Structure 1
Amino acid sequence: MAVVSKNIPAPDLVSISRALISVSDKTGLIDFVRALTKHGVEIVSTGGTRKAIAEAGIAVTDVSEVTGFPEIMDGRVKTLHPLVHGGLLAVRGDQDHQQAMRDHGIRPFDLVVINLYPFEDVRRAGGDYAATVENIDIGGPAMVRASAKNHAYVGVVTDPADYPLVLEALEENTGSLSYQFRQKLAAKAFARTAAYDAAISGWFAETLAIEHPVWRAFGGRLEQVMRYGENPHQDAAFYVNGDPRPGVATARQLQGKQLSYNNINDTDAAYELVSEFDPARTAAVAIIKHANPCGVAEGATLKDAYLKALACDPVSAFGGIVALNRTLDAEAAEEIVKIFTEVIIAPDATDEAVAIVAAKKNLRLLIAGSLPDPRAAGLTVKSVSGGLLVQSRDNGAVDDLDLKVVTKRAPTDRELADLKFAFRIAKHVKSNAIVYVRDGATVGIGAGQMSRVDSSRIAARKAADAAEAAGLKEPMTIGSVVASDAFFPFADGLLSAVEAGATAVIQPGGSMRDDEVIAAADEAGIAMVFTGMRHFRH
């Protein structure tokens, strides 16, 4: 049943005379509290926060002195008390509320400073079940929400970064906070508790293997406000959600301009792709443009892999994103900076490589620390009108699949190695995807077409263009293998690949016309294997 408002107008200015402070993150706490006391603010606090304030020589009242009740149950119960929440929730312009305060000896709080138990940090660090549960804050969110609801009379601060803003507002208003300022603090407070609860509910769903919770919440903290989104007329911002998966959200940016919306999207795509290649086995480089690879290769060194990847489509590589699966070294860095590149991302970089990249002031260099696990579980989310599409991450790996040879001719060892390479790449190409590979490098990529045969033809044409630019007599698709992210519904797509010079094919299979496609492959004398796994990417 809805509560009927009495429509009591909120005062513009509320004088701050009494503050309740209980923080887990004590960054800037003492300087902030000391500044509050200079405005004559009485400080009430709890537990470790009270101890820190007292040890700094600042007068502070323990909340147990207010409630007349000690902290119990290892501190789980200390602020959940009418003498606390009454002081937070009282409508001061309401005569009934005022009478209740007088009757029960409740004093109001004008300012509440709370940041919550570090649940997200404990979850990120992989704490055990009991430790993670114990870091679910109860009293903190209750006080935050109570104060934010009653922002007509109470200012609530949930972020140490806002301490200077609060002190500035108090200076401007002679010890008071304006209604507009209190509103903004309340909005941020509710967003904070929403993100906090989203992290908790998400952890429970993950831990208990609840695939499709009835209620699904997602939250994040603002990391960056961008100049614009995909296009200049679109607003954009970047939020991080505490997921420890290595990548663009967790990487350190050593240099270069601020990342744009498109940079972040493309860099994520690049690093996820290059993580498919075990750095203990081979060096690998992926060059990405508009979230699609324009060249991927493996080699004995990063330099070798980069040059092979670049050769696939040197025109599209201009202004692209380069991802590496090993520590960026000087040799690779010298090659990469020869053309305009937006971003380089790698697990690490040598000092020499950093110095080389530093000569290109606008080139962003990101150090991710490690590679994401391509087999790890996780979620992807996409917004649609009125809802969210949520699915598990595509963590299928070709090396884990039982490949089935369906043609009369089986692939050679070299072909099989290239087929697996090609299927790894197809997983990261927008559908319909066709990927030609030869000797551990892409030589033609067709992406995002409505027809699979068109993707095949586009990939072959781009291979021909690259061969002409390199002065080669014939395209590298001659003697290549080809991967398709989904089955060939007709033989025409496969025959197009054969025309381009492919000698072996890897595809999921499962079409009603598989027999026709297999017969066409046999007639052409090529090998074909089925994976049984599709890699659509929309």
Structure 2
Amino acid sequence: MTTVPLRRALISVSDKTGLEAFATALAQRGVEVLSTGGTAKALRAAGLTVIDVAEVTGFPEMMDGRVKTLHPKVHGGLLALRDNPAHVAAMEEHGIGGIDLLVVNLYPFEETVAKGADYDTCIENIDIGGPAMIRAAAKNHAHVAVVVDTADYDAVLAALDDHDGSTPYALRQTLAQTAYARTAAYDAAVSGWMADAIGAETPRRRAVAGTLALPLRYGENPHQKAAFYTDGSARPGVATAVQHQGKDLSYNNINDTDAAFELVAEFNPADGPVCAIIKHANPCGVARGATMAEAYARAFDCDRTSAFGGIVALNQPLDAATAAKIVEIFTEVVIAPEASDEAKAIFAAKKNLRLLTTGGLPNPAAPARTIRQVSGGMLMQDKDTGRVDEEDLKPVTRRRPSAAEMSDMIFAWSVAKHVKSNAIVYVRDGATVGIGAGQMSRVDSSTIAALKAERMAKECGLPESLAKGSVVASDAFFPFADGLLAAAEAGATAVIQPGGSMRDAEVIAAADEAGLAMVFTGMRHFRH
């Protein structure tokens, strides 16, 4: 059957956005409307004629509304094959009327969890009848249209206009796919919440789901198809940001902007402005400043070449002075908690520059998970929320770090966490001065970071490498003393690293001989 006349609809929704207009449009087309509870009340208040489902089933809503639509006169109306004589005969024998359109959105379980509700309240917000009806209607999409998103109301009405009050098969197929995705996402949310609630760290089955936020022109490369999906969490970031200007974000923009904002969130805005500049998901400069404009300038001076076409993330609102500096070179995206009107006006002249504001920073210590697909499966792990304070650090060399060195080491350690392994980060006076990322050898990362520090010193007109007098952070232990000695040769005076190598004694001895102060964190920050 290509088109199905729409004569009878069942509407039962928690989200009543657009409900009155949609139901009114159906009524104007002569559609009979069945409904339940709060939905029926809302429709009657709008002056519409509604038939209670209880009138159809002959049973009242009971058990606090837990049982109202689980009845053959509802499910028979959804599941009956209208072109099957036996089904039609059963409908006639038992007084079952066909339902041509089901409009259901589910109890707000995800929103209830997000508000921090207790266990019993979350359980009560698990919908049973809704998913059952949705799955029934979606299975029978040859004869029934099912709507689970308010965003599809207009498409249904337009189809009715184009097909003389009937729904076309292609639309019903699309709606059915959306419906199954919605019930799958709902079940994923419930099962994921319950796993956390009962402390099941590695449940036998894991379900993940997402909602389309933005179709993308392509993925990492033009021959790859891609799209951006959100997971429904309230964590501030790219997924929740408001885009004020600029063309749509690309796959690489989203990936890099997320990396930039997660990095800058490591630094409490109450402790002062911090700016991070990212390129290909790695920081090319991170710095503190007395002002945000100074923080940006210091981050920029870590690697002026790589900053071109990069992503800028701020831990405090974007102001006009900082905006004026940023627009001096081409920048892809700027993300910040807020932006002043003056800063927005400066950016308005750069039509390709995207400005995102998030309303806040993500909590770097908040539990979350990361997922990576591999052939035939996926890897899931807790997000790296590890952090260290001064009291967590273990000095292992004869010379103890100075207060200034300790401050820079903690800063460098926070940055190294967000650099692809093997990661080496040089920091001096609250600013990165050299970063080595993603090398197969830690000594190569040390060498590359030192070369960048030397190159930028020349570009800035300074007489010696920016690494002179710096501290260095390594995301994992030094397996040999060579990487540490490369840092010492570059001019570093102190080292922060996890420790734990079989050759720790050898590395400590080398640090002592070089006059370095070194502390162990006891924590590794691999990032692949």
TM-score, structure 1 as length reference: 0.96
Conserved in 1, the CA contact under 8 Å of 2:20 and 2:46?
Answer: yes
Does residue 26 of structure 1 match 2:16? yes
SS of the equivalent of 1:144 reads helix
Give matches, 1:115-514, under 5 Å: 115-399=105-389, 402-514=392-504
Q: 1:113 aligns with which of 97, 103, 111?
A: 103
User: 1:219 Cα shift?
Assistant: 0.8
Paired amino acid for 2:335: I
Contact conserved, 2:390 with 2:406, CA < 8 A, in 1?
no
CA contact (8 A) 2:8 2:101 kept: yes
- 2: CA distance between counterparts of 1:261 and 1:125? 30
Which one is further off, 392-401 or 459-468? 392-401
For residues 357 and 151 of structure 1, what CA distance do their matches in structure 2 show?
Answer: 49
Q: Supply the distance in 2 between the matched residues of 1:334 and 1:379 (Cα, whole angstroms).
A: 37
Instruction: State the distance in 2 between where 1:238 and 1:528 align.
Output: 43
Distance 1:458 1:226 in 2: 34
Shift of 1:525: 1.0
- For 1:233 and 1:92, how far apart are their aligned partners in 2? 44
- C-alpha displacement at 1:459, in angstroms? 0.6
**In the alignment, residue 220 of structure 2 is paired with which amino acid?**
E
Aligned residue in 1 for 2:76:
86
Structure 1 residue 94: Cα displacement: 2.5
**Cα distance in 2 for residues equivalent to 1:506 and 1:517:** 12
Question: Counterparts of 2:94 and 2:425 in 1: how far apart (Å)?
Answer: 75
Distance in 1, Cα, partners of 2:160 & 2:182:
23
Task: Look up the SS of the partner of 1:211 in the other structure.
Answer: coil
Q: Distance in 2 between matches of 1:281 and 1:179?
A: 59
Q: Residue 461 of structure 1 aligns to which amino acid in structure 2?
A: L
1:460, distance to aligned residue in structure 2 (A)? 0.8
Of the three residues 471, 488, 509, the one matched with 1:519 is: 509
Structure 2 residues not aligned, in runs of 5+? none
Alpha-carbon separation, structure 2, partners of 1:111 and 1:278: 52
Partners of 2:327 and 2:300 in 1: how far apart? 12
3-state DSSP class of the match of 2:301? Answer: helix
Task: String of CA shifts for 1:341-378, please: whole Å, max 9, x gaps.
Answer: 11111111222222222222221111111111111111
**Which residue among 72, 77, 102 is the counterpart of 2:67?**
77
For the residues of structure 2 that align with 1:517 and 1:527, how far apart are their CA atoms?
12
Instruction: Give the 3-state SS of the residue equivalent to 1:112 in structure 2.
Output: strand
List per-residue Cα deviations over 1:198-243 (Å, max 9, x = no partner).
1111111222222111110111111110111111111111111111
Q: How does 1:38-53 map to 2 (within 5 A)?
A: 38-53=28-43
Q: Share of identical aligned residues, percent?
A: 67
Shift of 1:196: 1.1
Q: Following TM superposition, by how much is the alpha carbon of 1:74 offset from its aligned partner in structure 2, in angstroms? A: 2.1
Structure 2: distance between partners of 1:197 and 1:208: 16
Question: For residues 154 and 325 of structure 2, what CA distance do their matches in structure 1 show?
Answer: 46
**1:448, distance to aligned residue in structure 2 (A):** 0.4
Shift of 1:519: 1.1
Counterpart-to-counterpart distance in 1, 2:422 and 2:339 = 35
Superposition deviation, residue 279 in structure 1: 1.0
5+ long unaligned stretches in structure 1: 1-10
- Partners of 2:96 and 2:170 lie apart in 1 by 26
1:124 deviation in Å?
2.0
Amino acid at match of 1:83: K
Q: Specify the SS of the correspondent of 2:277.
A: strand
* Structure 1 equivalent of residue 88 of structure 2: 98
Task: Give the secondary structure class of the aligned counterpart of 1:169.
Answer: helix
Return the offset for 1:25. 1.3
Moved more, 33-42 or 64-73: 33-42
Q: Please list the CA deviations of residues 70-102 of structure 1 after superposition, one character each: whole Å capped at 9, or x if unmatched.
A: 111222211111110111111223333223222
**Alignment-mate amino acid for residue 522 of structure 1:** D
Aligned residues: 528
1:440: Cα distance to partner?
Answer: 0.4
For 1:434 and 1:440, the matched residues in 2 are separated by: 16
Q: Structure 2 counterpart of 1:19, which letter?
A: A
C-alpha contact 2:390 2:410 (8 A) present in aligned 1: no
- After superposing the two structures, state which structure 1 stretch, 472-481 or 26-35, moved more: 26-35
Report the AA paired with residue 433 of structure 1.
A
Counterpart of 2:239 in 1: which secondary structure? coil
- The question of whether the paired residues in 2 share the 8 Å contact of 1:436 and 1:459 is answered with yes
| Aligned-partner residue type, residue 394 of structure 1 | D
After TM superposition, give the deviation of residue 401 of structure 1 in Å: 6.2
The residue matched to 2:392 in structure 1 has which SS? coil
Mapped to 2, the partners of 1:348 and 1:162 lie a distance apart of 32
Pairwise CA distance, 1:400: 7.1
Q: Deviation of residue 490 (structure 1)? A: 0.8
Deviation of 1:251 (Å): 1.3
TM-score (norm 2): 0.98
